[in-house]
Structure 1
Amino acid sequence: MGRALVWKLNARLHNRMYRYISGHASDDVLFMNWAYEEDPAMAIPLDPTDEPHRYPIQLYHSVAAQNGGLAGMRVLEVGCGHGGGASYIMRTFGAESYVGLDLNAVGITFCRRRHHVPGLEFIEGDAEQLPFRAESFDAVINVESSHFYPHFTQFLSEVTRVLRPGGEFLYTDIRQWYQCDQWEADLEATGMRMVAGRDINKQVLRGMELNKPQWDAVWDRIAPGFLRSIGSAPTTGTPLSRDLENGKQFYRMYCLTKG
């Protein structure tokens, strides 16, 4: 079986998994992204209600803070999941407004029920056909979801379209080792200026290890048996973490600005 076909089958499985989790999650399942921790520890101050989600939050925090913060900005997050990152960023970074968009209708229903923050709204929509006018946003955030978009370059074209001149694309995601050259080429082809880009495998692995008790408790509660058996949770001791350790996958973080 070819690599491309395996990747497509994996994408289909994970999209169904996310819909399943959204339909069965309790209100404490606010994050579905992997985790992040630096050395020495980031030690960002968190509210007591945010503390259980420290390591997924630190991934969002690091992405959002790449180019000086989001104060006064109109922000769009594409692929907002269960909205935990959107809520944290809106409460922490002083954005003027924040729109969380996701294709998963069940997830958007969850977000609207769970998160009530002034200036924050959630919309069902397609990453490859963003339902917004050109130059509508000062920043677009995308955390760990673009690797399953059917047409990644179309998504990048939409990001470029909805950003105002000087706007920021704040982005983190994962790719298989053999996809990385094309990944970089696709980002360069947008015409946006690369402000920062780095591998964060070590930081993600460290975060996954520290977040393991929290994630395992969630996973055991809501994941069906076949998902537990194949070890598809983003935690240590699984194929996902071993691929990061062995360099078969790369997790990277980027900041690009539109000219």
Structure 2
Amino acid sequence: MLQHLHARLVCSSCKGMLVQSEALLQCCNCDAVYTIDDRYVSMLDRREEVVHPSDWKRKEGEIRDYSEISNSFALSGIGRFATFLNYGYVPQGNEQHAVIEPDDVWNRNSVKLLLETVGRTAIRERQVIDIGCGRGGNIAALYKYFKPLSIVGLDICPANIAYCSVKSRGVEAFYLVGDAENIPFADESFDIVLNMESAQAYPNRSRFYEEVYRIMRVGGVFLYTELMLEDQVAKNVRLLEEAGLSVIRNQDVTSNVLLSCDENAKQRTGPQGIANNANASMNNGDISDFIALPGSKKYEEMKAGTQQYRMMNLIKR
């Protein structure tokens, strides 16, 4: 465990100081208890099930879906290649922000999406957290192209974090199970916060935005992408600003994402693709909609403009 990151861990719920006793971390303030596995730390406060039962039920659905996908990948033998699940990005004549072009052939569109999201933001020698890190593809790419000082991967699904912990040995990264609405780090712990295609699953969006603001240092940047309902974009921007963040970029890249979905369709529906290697009856919808295959509800809504893929950079002043 990276010592400077471990020292900044706090209680997910009350942000109190933690003390370690064997394989447990206990809060000195509210007595919350967290577990230390041989592969990762779990910073989920199970008391949330009682305090916010409906929210927790939704989160459990996300955990089940991603666990099923991870298990399916492992059984099919393609797990080591499946590090990205995002929609990807293909240039289409609109303004490009990336200063680096990806050289990854297998996940080129997914890496391009990350590089466009980063744009001209300085990452080198800065402390980064990827909230909703999934299977670690973004973290591996950030190290490859930008060399941050350190990076944390946080995800609510233990299967994702277990995979990342094994996959990325030797990389300067610290992975833990945690809730984006209850981030277990002290105030002003990070220079860069990354969140890609994840926030739509969070029941309490305002709480997430407030947590992002809290853990960012002054001058820090929030790199954020999400597929949003068109009539919710302005509201979400308002919530971000109410949390204290200033928008420096807010770009509609739906057309670029749709092109990527078109290009990805053949690979993702092929013998080794996610559509043939994940359970088609997921808790929160079928796999075709999950990856926005052409013809799926999500794909058609993007095409019609009722959902927009927004790419945002925000700063803490």
With structure 1 as the length reference, what TM-score do the two structures score? 0.88
Match of residue 181 from structure 1: 234
Q: Does 2:127 align with 1:91?
A: no
Match of residue 296 from structure 2: 238
Runs of 4+ in 1 over 6 A off after TM superposition: 8-12
Q: Which has a greater percent of helix?
A: 1
Contact 1:196 1:256 survives alignment (8 Å): yes
Residues 156-165 or 210-219, more deviating: 210-219
Query: Taking every aligned residue pair, what percent have the same amino acid on both sides?
Result: 29
Contact 2:129 2:153 survives alignment (8 Å): yes
Match of residue 171 from structure 1: 224
Which residue, 50, 61, 66 being the options, matches 2:115? 61
Computed over aligned residues only, the root mean square deviation of the Cα atoms, in angstroms, reads 2.4
Which residue, 273, 276, 279 being the options, matches 1:224? 279
What is the identity, as a one-letter code, of the residue corresponding to 1:22? S
Post-superposition Cα deviations, 1:1-54, rounded to whole Å, max 9, x if no partner, equal: xxxxxxx999876553222102221221111111111125989241xxx31111
What is the identity, as a one-letter code, of the residue corresponding to 2:310? R
Alpha-carbon distance in structure 2 between the residues aligned to 1:19 and 1:52: 23
Alpha-carbon distance in structure 2 between the residues aligned to 1:87 and 1:171: 18
Alpha-carbon distance in structure 1 between the residues aligned to 2:101 and 2:132: 24
Alpha-carbon distance in structure 1 between the residues aligned to 2:164 and 2:275: 22
Alpha-carbon distance in structure 1 between the residues aligned to 2:166 and 2:248: 36
Say how many residue pairs are matched: 248
Q: Which segments of 5 or more consecutive residues in structure 2 lack a partner in the other structure?
A: 1-55, 74-78
Which protein is bigger by CA-based radius of gyration? 2
Match of residue 19 from structure 1: 67
SS across alignment from 2:106: helix
With structure 2 as the length reference, what TM-score do the two structures score? 0.72
SS across alignment from 1:68: coil
Note the C-alpha offset of 1:229. Answer: 6.6
Post-superposition Cα deviations, 1:61-117, rounded to whole Å, max 9, x if no partner, equal: 11122x433111100010000001111111211211111100100110011111234
Change (3 A) 1:168 1:224: same
Instruction: After TM superposition, list the pairs within 5 Å mapping 1:1-259 onto structure 2.
Output: 15-25=63-73, 26-39=79-92, 44-46=101-103, 50-65=104-119, 67-217=120-270, 218-226=273-281, 231-232=288-289, 233-259=291-317
